Amino acid sequence: MQYICLILVNPASLHCYLAIKDMSETKKCIKCQTINSTKFRSLKGEKWKEIENNDLAKITWSEGVLLCNVCYMRFIENPLKKGYKRVKNMDE
């Protein structure tokens, strides 16, 4: 297990506090590597099938990986909403 130690200082009283956080609980985006997002999305189940069917999956992704909300919207949700653009046939 990996742990991170944080020393927190209360400026009002100048007391120091030691906080130990288990790093195995920390979520990390597989695309941008951020751990600071407020929302992470797991690519699994029906969403993973939809991603594979639309060829949106990257080589390093597998079912169940986590993306931060920004990467999820950029690489999954927005392309799914746009779909493939159709070219109009101008020959009449």
Domain tally, the chain: 1
Contact (Cβ atoms closer than 8 angstroms) between residue 41 and residue 69: yes
Contact (Cβ atoms closer than 8 angstroms) between residue 3 and residue 20: yes
- Two structure tokens written together for 61: 């992704």
Give the residue with greater pLDDT, 82 vs 13. Answer: 82
In a domain, 88, yes or no: no
In a domain, 27, yes or no: yes
Residue 92 has pLDDT above 50, yes or no: no
Cα 30 to chain centroid distance, Å, stands at 6
pTM assigned to the model? 0.61
In a domain, 12, yes or no: yes
In a domain, 77, yes or no: yes
Work out the pLDDT band at 26, boundaries 50, 70, 90.
confident
For residues 51 and 49, what is the distance between their CA atoms, to the nearest angstrom? 5
- pLDDT for 67 equals 92
pLDDT per position as a tens digit, 41-60: 999 999 999 989 988 888 88
- Two structure tokens written together for 25: 């609980």
- Two structure tokens written together for 36: 């600071």
